[in-house]
């Protein structure tokens, strides 16, 4: 989906889209425990680098990063 030039852009509130993209990028390299140990500074950079992500660093918040982290765990669980 992320490599599709017709894919819609997503922003900070699109937690599930971000989580799916992170799972596609990292797969099973990150287990639930590892996902919860990711520093928010790292997570912020990874999200900003995702294809089709159009949010900005200034629009991010700790709340967004917490929601993304939780959604990523649920995405990982769904694929196990």
Kindly report, residue by residue over 7-62, the tens digit of the pLDDT.
789 999 999 999 999 999 999 899 999 999 999 999 999 999 999 999 999 999 99
In angstroms, rounded to a whole number, what is the distance separating the alpha carbons of residues 10 and 68? 13
Q: Report phi then psi at 38, rounded to 5.
A: -65, 130
Taking the model in full, what pTM does it have? Answer: 0.89
Confirm whether 51 is domain-assigned.
Answer: yes
Is 4 a residue whose pLDDT tops 90? Answer: no
Q: Is the pLDDT of residue 71 over 80?
A: yes
* pLDDT of res. 8: 87
- pLDDT mean over 52-74: 96
Q: Which CATH number does the domain housing residue 36 bear?
A: 1.10.10
Closest CA to 76 of 34, 47, 45, 13: 34
* Structural domains counted in the chain: 1
Structural domain boundaries, residue 41: 15-79
């Amino acid at each position: 989906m992320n490599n599709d030039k017709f894919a819609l852009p997503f922003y900070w509130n699109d937690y599930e889209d971000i989580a799916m993209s992170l799972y596609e990028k990292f797969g099973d390299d990150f287990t639930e425990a590892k996902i919860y140990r990711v520093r928010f500074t790292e997570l912020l950079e990874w999200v900003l680098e995702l294809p089709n992500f159009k949010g900005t660093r200034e629009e991010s918040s700790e709340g967004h990063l917490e929601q993304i982290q939780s959604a990523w765990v649920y995405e990982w669980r769904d694929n196990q």
